[in-house]
Amino acid sequence: MCGIVGAVRESDTSGFLLEGLRRLEYRGYDSAGVVVINQSGRLERARTVGKVKELERALTQTPLAGTTGLAHTRWATHGGVSETNAHPHICNGTLALVCNGIVENHEALRHSQQEAGLAFTSQTDTEVVVHQVYLHLQNGLDLADAVRATMDELAGSFALAVVHAGEPGRLVAARQGPPLLLGRAEKESFVASDINALLPATRRYQVLENGDVADIRGASCAIKDSGGSPVERVIHTSTQSGAGAELGEHRHFMQKEIHEQPRAVSDTLEDRLLGDRVLEDAFGSEAGRIFDATRQVLIIACGTSYHAGLVARHWLEYVGVPCEVEVASEYRYRRHAAREGTLVVTISQSGETADTLAALEEAKRQGVVGALVVCNVAESSLVRESDLVFMTHCGPEVGVASTKTFVSAMTGLLLLALVLSRRHGFDSGFEAHVVHQIRTLPGALEAALAMEDAIAEMAQVFSDKEHALFLGRGAHFPIAMEGALKLKEISYIHAEAYPAGELKHGPLALVDEKMPVVAVAPNDLLIEKLKSNLEEVRARRGRLYLFADPASGLESREDVTVLHVAPVDSAIAPIIYTVPLQLLSYHVALIKGTDVDKPRNLAKSVTVE
């Protein structure tokens, strides 16, 4: 969500800034812009609505050149999607600023700035930030001190970067919430909200902490902490690939990432299993000590990651570990009754989800035995803030709708349940059985992917549909929730998920011949209960679309379409039954003609509240 790129270089920086924005496109945005200080010491700016390619087209027609500059992709909050609301924002022709986040007291600041005679050209909360810095400059403060003074006056969560036309070769950056990284090279320096944007120029980077202000001049950088004291931040070396993700033979990144799931799970399992056992050190060197002290698990996540946590609750409670699962944005604002021996587990593809980070901080204040993160980005804030780390080795996930990171996160959570089961009376035979099933995951995922042609045909039925109902029972109710979310995200069809047993408590009122009902039906202990629920749908003339185990006894008929999923053990069934629902949503979106990889109004990485 939003993206910052900035640079102080020896050569022209406009090409680097544009490439940085391309590498941040996955985060989600609706407009883009760039500003440079030209050779005459003036600010030159270009802004466009839409994709980065629109900005690139504008720059081809009217090139910008300068060694110091900023670029930004905006995801609209305050103010609509327009060129005037796009970043960078400029004050009095001399000061340019980009910002991620939300300024909560922008209205009061805007009023005082208007009284001071400053004119506004946008409806954004960000414009008050550049004006406030400008006012402090007018009062005699240095640029870095003006940024510090402004930070003290802002309420909210934000990261920003600013340049002054009168000081080419200088850039000031600050963080109070959303992530911000400094890239370090031999003679140049960079700033970005994501490591991907830095990789074309450098692998060496520093992480700004909350309250930090960085004063960048060429290759030098002076950082002061929230108290204004000089501080050194560790210089890290990124191990991520600098190569951009390629589509290959696939039409969209989402389709590519769905098909990468067998490899993603295989890579995630690599070096985590030894014979019939899960290696405890896969979670970190302190795992044994922390797991010994664990009496219950608190899972905190958002969106798709939240659904993974709901599945994990079934696994953890099966092995005797009490588990609560919380939506991060709700947890952080509720009073809690702390429980002794709690292990807090966060789940996040990016590791930068603002609500999850804040919720983790709150959980730590309550007192926990440790924090474990399940994440796909090693160089992320949640990884840095956690005691234990389980990396999902999925590689870049470009599509906004998470797919391979969801199944890999569930795989990691299943391993966690096995490790904790040893402390709750389950013997090595139980673990060996489940590990054997886990080793079959890549092959079982391949078998599920082979259903794509049949699922594409099923998807035709949804071409004129506006609503859909998803059903599941037990650990498969969260999978139904994920299926409904995917359909909403990329096809814009309104979809809801319910536990199948809840039909009679309300959702049956929605069922008619126009409402497709999708259900997952593994051959588990709840299959007969599920069949009864499905008959309730048929009795109301509802049309059923089922993904079922061949041994379930469910077969296609006039008002029921059944696609059989190859039999799998109940331990891994939730992971496998995810795939048909992903493919269904994808092919429905193709029919609807939506932007599959970048659905409207959504961002890949939600770094603000």
State the catalytic residues.
2, 604
User: Helical H runs in 386-427?
Assistant: 404-421
Interatomic CA distance for residues 348 and 266, integer angstroms:
19
| Both structure tokens of 425 | 């009376």
CB 471 within 8 A of CB 536: no
The alpha-carbon radius of gyration of the chain (Å, integer) is: 26
Helices 573-592 and 452-459 meet at what angle, rounded to 10?
50
Residue 160, C-beta contacts closer than 8 angstroms, at least 6 positions apart: 4, 97, 98, 99, 100, 101, 129, 147, 173, 174
Interatomic CA distance for residues 419 and 422, integer angstroms:
6
Question: Look-up: residue for tokens 């340019």?
Answer: 96
SS3 category, 200: coil
Q: Is the peptide bond before 396 cis (omega within 30 degrees of 0)?
A: no
Task: Look at residues 296, 261, 573, 272 and name the one whose alpha carbon lies nearest to residue 415.
Answer: 272
Backbone phi, psi, residue 184, to 5°: -120, 125
Residue 139, C-beta contacts closer than 8 angstroms, at least 6 positions apart: none
Query: How crowded is residue 147: how many other Cβ atoms within 10 Å of its Cβ?
Result: 26
| Both structure tokens of 394 | 């999925």
Task: Look at residues 488, 498, 483 and name the one whose alpha carbon lies nearest to residue 465.
Answer: 488
Interatomic CA distance for residues 458 and 358, integer angstroms:
42
Output the CA–CA distances (angstroms, integers) from residue 300 to 297, 313, 339, 413, in the order listed.
10, 11, 15, 13
Give Dmax over CA atoms of the chain in angstroms.
80
SS3 category, 606: coil
Paired residues of 237 in beta bridges: 204
Rounded to the nearest 5 degrees, what angle is found at the Cα of 195, between the Cα atoms of 189 and 200? Answer: 65
Residue 444, C-beta contacts closer than 8 angstroms, at least 6 positions apart: 566, 568, 572, 576
Between strands 220-224 and 68-74, the pairing is unpaired
